[in-house]
Amino acid sequence: MTALAALREALGDIVDVAEDSLEAARSDRSGHRSRGRPLAIVHAESITHVQQTMRLATEHRTPVVVRGAGTGLAGAANAGPGEIVLSTVRMNRVLEIRPDDLIAVVEPGILNSDLGALLAESGLWWPPDPASRDISTVGGNIATGAGGLLCAKYGVVRDCVLAIDLVLADGRLLHLGHRSVKGVTGLDLTSLVIGSEGTLGVVVGATLKLRRVVEGETCTLTALFSSVRAAAMGSAAVTASGVQPAIMELIDATSLAAVHAYLSLSAPPPATSQLTIQTDGPTARSDADRIAEVLRTAGGEVALTYDRTEGERRLTIRRSMHGAFASLGTTLIEDVSVPRSALPAMYDEIARIEKQYGLIIPSVAHAGDGNLHPNFIFEGEEVPDVVWAAADDLFRSAIRLGGTLTGEHGIGILKSRWLSEELGEDQWGIQRQIKRVFDPLGILNPGKVFDHA
């Protein structure tokens, strides 16, 4: 019996072989597409479905690609010929909310925004705040180690997950981590799985570390600068001042003009870059006043509002960036991180790369934690060689500045060729050995992360 026949016999109607479904599973939002359609999609609705799928995949030596909402930006969830897609989107329940323990137990398919709405009813929230929160799943956030706008103050996914339920390649179910805030028994396999991009197992549940909704005001500043380097220096000055904003986002001149056009707003002054900063909590107003002073000293033209609604309107400009770039052409959205003090130097490197390769690379940044998103925009579906050459230069520049290839999007297929350079051959080899412990047959997400693509 073939793997497909075995899946259909065991799982029935949740096995999907419709051509449009298979075609959609070939790509995510990275711009990369696999070389052909996968074998089938299993729309798992329970842990049992996941375990059955993995047992059959192991028995038939058939590769499996775990997929959530398909909104990834590194090609990690793209599936190709001969592969089973294991979709966890239908596993979208909140199993438990405990305000007394500040935890929630959830399935991986729930959307960030849906989880946020449910938690808000209890005066709670889960801090990771990706710009894609309306379309990305918690399971996908865990798989990529996602971040977002609030990371500098409230942490990334790794800081906000206490436990993970993981189905291994052979169908065994592991319960990693703990419900208690403290717990150091054995090796930290929970953190190991976070950011592993479906290469170690299938996340089927998570115990999330919550916070109570922040009391007090929310204040929002926008500061216009005459150059992106000046804006980066402004953000560095805020960090050095000791004030901790909840959000600090940098938008360069090309990006700012694009998003204003996309939202039908009046055009900003030429060559203008913008910082958008938000403070919250009991000291929000005094923090905002102090930041405004720092930014004016750094040469910024500052507008400050204490109105929460107006503040969210200003943040809409940052949250609309993906749509703005898509309106310009095909976009390769990249993701590097550098130490916050190196942010001006990284923007200098981007300017050099633009000039050297004859490209325009609009870039935005989570300036509060040094995570940049340079965007390569081109025509057609295939990434031109000159773009890859420029991206290669950009990645190596970030590493030279003490940074890393990715802050939140992951390695996937698009960056696997550079991974060993950042890690070094010894660490890269050890990480590959760890993968083989979890997945000895190599059937989980083959060709991604640890392979030289």
* pLDDT at 390 (0 to 100): 96
Q: Which residues contact 189 (CB under 8 A, 6 or more apart)?
A: 174, 176, 177
Query: CA dist 298 to 238, 247, 292, 341, 381, Å?
Result: 9, 19, 10, 15, 41
Q: Which two tokens stand for residue 6?
A: 């075995």
- The reported pTM is 0.91
pLDDT of residue 407: 87
Tell me the backbone φ, ψ of residue 162, rounded to 5 degrees: -90, -35
Separation between Cα atoms, residue 42 and residue 52, nearest integer Å: 10
d(CA 97, CA 402) in angstroms, rounded, equals 40
pLDDT score for 132? 76
Q: How many residues does the chain have?
A: 453
Determine how many CB atoms are found less than 10 A away from the CB of residue 155. 16
pLDDT given at position 29: 79
Tens of pLDDT, residue by residue, the chain (453 residues):
899 999 999 999 999 999 999 999 998 877 778 899 999 999 999 999 999 999 999 999 999 999 998 888 888 999 999 999 999 999 999 999 999 999 999 999 999 999 999 999 999 999 887 777 788 999 999 999 988 788 888 988 999 999 999 999 999 999 999 999 999 999 999 999 999 999 999 999 999 999 999 888 999 999 999 999 999 999 999 999 999 999 999 999 999 999 999 999 999 999 999 999 999 999 999 999 999 999 999 999 999 999 989 999 999 999 899 889 988 888 888 899 999 999 999 999 999 999 999 999 999 999 999 999 999 988 887 889 999 999 999 999 999 999 999 988 899 988 998 999 999 999 999 999 999 999 999 999 999 998 764
Q: State residue 119's pLDDT score.
A: 95
At residue 414, the pLDDT reads 84
Alpha helix (H) ranges present in 13-129? Answer: 19-24, 47-60, 112-120
SS3 40: strand
Cα 68–Cα 74–Cα 75 angle in degrees, nearest 5: 65
> If DSSP codes are grouped into helix, strand and coil, which group holds residue 226?
coil
Q: Which two tokens stand for residue 357?
A: 């390769």
Predicted pLDDT of residue 46: 98
State whether residue 207 is helix, strand or coil. strand
The pLDDT of residue 251 is: 97
Looking from the CA of 215 toward its CB, the CA atoms found within 13 Å total 2
CA distances 204 to 73, 99, 103, 201, 449, Å, are: 22, 22, 17, 9, 21
Q: Contact 168/138 with Cβ under 8 angstroms?
A: no
The rounded distance, in Å, linking the Cα atoms of 100 and 399 is 43
φ/ψ (deg, to 5) at 335: -160, 100
3 state SS of 120: helix
Strand partners, 105: 96, 207
Determine how many CB atoms are found less than 10 A away from the CB of residue 285: 16
